[in-house]
Amino acid sequence: MGITVQHWGLITYEKALQQQKELVKLVQKRLAPSTMVFCEHPTVITKGRNSHDSHIVLSEDELNDRKIHVVPIHRGGDVTLHNANQLIGYPIFHLSDFKEDLHWFLRSIEECIIEIIAEFGILGHQQDGLTGVWIDGERKICAIGIHCSQWVTSHGFALNVSNDLSEFDTIVPCGIDDKTVTSIAKELGREVSLEEVLPIAEKIFKKKFA
């Protein structure tokens, strides 16, 4: 069956969210194929269904001063942050074309991310009881949170490539306060562009969901 890929570039979270909703409807109605969207967002904090306000460290005034929006959304998970040079992937997939199993789907996304960073010589792994991809059990390099309706998925993953990790100090990422975040650039000690990562990510996801 396979998937198609769209590149939305740097796009506000709010605009991408609206475009996601429109694409979900098309995929549900079988008017569009399962589609992987790649993009990046200006700095924004999103709150999943299981989020806690206490996991946003800054006050409303401080957030306003820094022009950081907070957007409540209906994906699973807690609080997370998106910013420039972070690779966002939104798999708008009809799982009936693959496997109607959300656990399998989440693990499959993690496996794809592990393969992507392995191309850069980074060893990532899954962590029992926690969603996402980790380095050495301590550093989170990719956050994942999805929603599913009528077996069509939305939302997705955020892979830290060379984004500003200091902005994560504004939140307790995914509600986990005893771990840190990392990026491909930080692990390698050099700058890495999204342009380096995108073709690898596209190839791996197309292969996994062929």
| Rounded mean pLDDT, 51-68 | 73
77 has a pLDDT exceeding 70 = no
Distance between CA atoms of residues 3 and 206, nearest Å: 6
| Active-site residue, from 39, 112, 142, 174 | 174
Please tell me which residue, 53 or 190, carries the higher pLDDT value.
190
Q: In what helix (H) or strand (E) does residue 4 lie, and over which residues does it extend?
A: strand 4-10
> pLDDT band at 206, cuts 50/70/90?
very high
What is residue 173's predicted lDDT score, i.e. its pLDDT? 57
Confidence band for 53, pLDDT divided at 50, 70 and 90? low
Phi, psi of 77 (to 5 degrees): 100, -175
Q: What is the pLDDT of residues 82-92, one digit of tens each?
A: 999 999 999 99
Q: Rounded CA gap, 168 and 207, in Å?
A: 32
pTM: 0.91
Reference 159, options 127, 115, 121; nearest CA is: 115
Question: What's the mean per-residue pLDDT of the chain?
Answer: 90
Tokens of 43: 């700095």
Is 148 among the residues known to form the active site? Answer: no
Here the CATH number for the domain that contains residue 90 is 3.30.930.10
pLDDT at residue number 61: 72
82/88 Cα distance (integer angstroms): 8
The count of structural domains within the chain is 1
* Tokens describing residue 141: 């390099």
Residue-number span of the structural domain to which 62 is assigned: 4-208
Q: Are 174 and 158 in contact (CB under 8 A)?
A: no
Strands laid side by side in the 44-47 sheet = 69-72, 44-47, 79-82
